[in-house]
Amino acid sequence: MALRPYAAAKRTLSFADKLLEVNWGLVLLICMIGLAGIAMLYSVANAHFQPWALRQIGHFTLGLIVMLAASVIDIRVWMSLAYPAYGFALLLLVAVDVVGHVGLGAQRWISLGPLDLQPSELMKIGLVLALSRFLHGKSIEEVSKPVPLAIGLAMIGIPAIFVVLQPNLGTTLIILADGCSLLFLAGLSWWWIAPTLGAVAAAVPLAWRFVLHDYQKARVETFIHPEADALGKGWNITQAKIAIGSGGVAGKGFTQGTQSRLNFLPEKQTDFIWTSFCEEFGFVGALALLVLFAVVIFYGVQTAMSARSQFGRLLAMGIILNFFFYIMINGLMVMGLIPVVGIPMPLLSYGGSAMLTVMFGFGLLMSVHIHRQVEIPRHSGGII
């Protein structure tokens, strides 16, 4: 039986070979979820393409181009660009404090012509790239040594500090979760993990008093007792629960959601779009969409397990975990199971920065899949 191009241990693949190796099933799944998001943006705008659906079509189309372009670039090139990408994202985070503009009470965006760029979104991918490269050259024993661990924690902590100062607690949590997950997957010893978890638990009261802003404390208090101010601070989560519950088993039907169309539901095009979907398509539709998300995550884990290089394995797992944390935090948030922290639902919520970041991440994931047979020495810089 003839070997496929990648199995012939060739150093490089032709462009045609790479196109054949693209996981088109995954592309189809991503398109299905993205189209569902565009349809919901059309619905929540009272069955109009303006102001969100038409722009989201542009965001998603550009995202597809970015994804496919990233997928055919050799994984060793991405490895060589990992540290510069991290440094660039960090510089943009610093720039937010200088030239960024305020939205919804937080300074998170940089205006680049018609595009409002959110550097914290780019940092999620930059951190995964850089940390994957750093840990690629470390054995399981080395990961738990004080100096490499301190460097890894600094790579996670520095951008997290800049993001929390914007303030953006939700993205900070994802950055911390992405980074710590990669350390764990690289083999970090439980002798470090257990005391750290204990220290985090002990630090919660201090964080409540000295770190969290008043509005963030209000969100936690509202999460615990939303009924205490149902027409004020508890309005968002109360309306979200009503929207989800009113969908029932089969939903009210496409474009028939009342909570969004009558403007009861806040941020219906971004953070709370999942509630609109549940209202219109009910439990059955929500379950179907969650299955699509789960299959995408399965593809990601499968890609990580098939990669021969440690960099490829960690990069694939970092990307798919980032995607999972998006889904988990947004889903739990809009159902009232955790405080509202302002995280979009990936591929569904309106927004250019989040869409392009998620699609670029999928491009990196597909690059790992296409180049899964590439072996990179542990102490290689990754430069071709």
Residue 359 lies in a domain: yes
Q: What mean pLDDT do residues 106-120 have?
A: 67
Q: What mean pLDDT do residues 173-182 have?
A: 92
Exposure on the CB side of residue 61, measured as CA atoms within 13 A: 6
Residue 43 lies in a domain: yes
Q: Is the pLDDT of residue 9 over 60?
A: no
What pLDDT score does 8 carry?
Answer: 37
| Degrees to nearest 5, angle at CA 325 with 323 and 331 | 105
Return d(Cα 130, Cα 83) in angstroms, integer.
5
For tokens 């979907």, what's the residue?
277
Q: What mean pLDDT do residues 375-381 have?
A: 70
Residue 235 lies in a domain: yes
Choose between 178 and 195: higher pLDDT.
Answer: 178
The SS3 assignment for 77 reads helix
Q: What mean pLDDT do residues 137-145 have?
A: 88
- The partner residues of 115 in beta bridges, in order of sequence, read 112
Q: What mean pLDDT do residues 124-130 have?
A: 96
Return d(Cα 142, Cα 129) in angstroms, integer.
19
Q: How far is CA 323 from CA 92, 300, 318, 355, 370, in A?
A: 22, 10, 9, 11, 20
For residue 301, name the pLDDT band (cuts at 50, 70, 90): very high
The per-residue pLDDT of the chain, averaged, comes to 85
Residue 384 lies in a domain: no
pLDDT in tens, 340-362: 787 899 999 998 888 999 999 99
For tokens 């309005």, what's the residue?
235
44 contacts 349 by C-beta, under 8 angstroms: no
Query: pTM above 0.85?
Result: yes
Amino acid 140 reads I
Count of structural domains, the chain: 1
For residue 74, name the pLDDT band (cuts at 50, 70, 90): very high
Q: Is the pLDDT of residue 113 over 50?
A: yes
- The partner residues of 112 in beta bridges, in order of sequence, read 115
What pLDDT score does 134 carry?
Answer: 95
Choose between 101 and 287: higher pLDDT.
Answer: 287
Give the range of the structural domain holding residue 65, as residue numbers without chain letter: 14-195+210-370
Q: 43 — phi, psi (to 5°)?
A: -70, -45
Min mean pLDDT across 9-13, 149-153, 244-248, 326-330 is at 9-13
Bridge-based pairing state of the strands 106-112 and 101-103: antiparallel
236 contacts 219 by C-beta, under 8 angstroms: no
Residue 2 lies in a domain: no
Residue 129 lies in a domain: yes
Min mean pLDDT across 4-18, 251-265, 282-296 is at 4-18
What pLDDT score does 227 carry?
Answer: 66
Residue 83 lies in a domain: yes
Residue 364 lies in a domain: yes
Q: What mean pLDDT do residues 243-272 have?
A: 85
What pLDDT score does 24 carry?
Answer: 93
